Amino acid sequence: MAELPEWVREIRMDAIADPSDKIAECEYFLGLASNEPNRERFRWLISAFLGAAYSYFEIRGLRAYRGRPHPETGEPVEDEDELRVLRQYVRVSQDKRNPDFVKTSGLNDITGELYKFRKQNTHHYPISLIQIGDDRPEGYHFGYRERDATPVLAFCRAAMKLIRQVEAELQGA
C-alpha cells in the first residue's frame, strides 16, 4: 500500500466532528429554548436551532453525494441508499459544475416549514413571535397574527423528532 501524502498525515482527525454532532447541537438549542422565558433570548435560541436543523440536512446531503470513497479509486461517490432516505424528507441536488456544492430544500410539511422559518430568519427579518396565553416559553408562536401562528416549541420538537427518525433510517441504510 502506498504511503499517504504529507498533507493527509497532518490532518487531525479529532478536529472533525462526528456526523451526529448537528443532532446534538439541535438538541442543545432546543433544550435551552424550552426553558427560556425571555422573548429575545428565546428567539436567539430558536434561530440557532433552525440553523442547526437546516445544517443537519445540508451536511447529510453532501455526505450522501460525497461521503463514500470508491473502493478502487478512493474518489468520492454517491451513496444511493442515503440519497433514497433523504429524498423522502428533503429535495437534494448536486451542482454538476461544483460537486462539493449540494443544496437541499424542504419536501414534506415539517421540512417545508423548517426551511421557510429558517430562510425568513436568515435572509429577510428576525423571527416574528407572538405570545398566546401566559405560559412562557410554550406560548410563543411563529407569526404576527394569532390565526396564522405556529407554536414554536411544538414545531421544533416535531422537527427534532423527524431529524432523529431520518438519522435512524440513515444509520440503517
Q: Quick one: which H or E segment has residue 129?
A: strand 129-131
Mean pLDDT over 119-148 rounds to 94
**Is residue 71 domain-resident?**
yes
**Is residue 64 domain-resident?**
yes
Q: How many CB atoms lie within 10 A of CB 79?
A: 18
- CA dist 151 to 3, 34, 109, Å? 56, 12, 15
Domain that includes residue 41, residue range? 24-172
CB 157 within 8 A of CB 151: no
* 8 Cβ contact list (under 8 Å, min separation 6): none
Total structural domains within the chain: 1
pLDDT tens readout for residues 49-63: 999 999 999 999 999
What percentage of residues in the chain have a pLDDT greater than 90?
73
State yes or no: pLDDT of 8 exceeds 60.
no
Q: For the chain, where are the alpha helices, taking DSSP H only?
A: 6-9, 21-33, 39-66, 80-86, 109-119, 152-172
Q: Quote the pLDDT of residue 85.
A: 97
CB 146 within 8 A of CB 132: yes
**Is residue 7 domain-resident?**
no
Mean pLDDT over 76-85 rounds to 92
**Is residue 6 domain-resident?**
no
**Is residue 33 domain-resident?**
yes
pLDDT tens readout for residues 94-131: 988 988 889 999 999 999 999 999 999 999 999 999 99
Indicate the DSSP class of residue 67: S
CA–CA distance, 88 with 22 (Å, rounded to integer): 20
Average pLDDT, the chain: 90
Torsion sign (Cα): 16, 160, 30, 144: positive
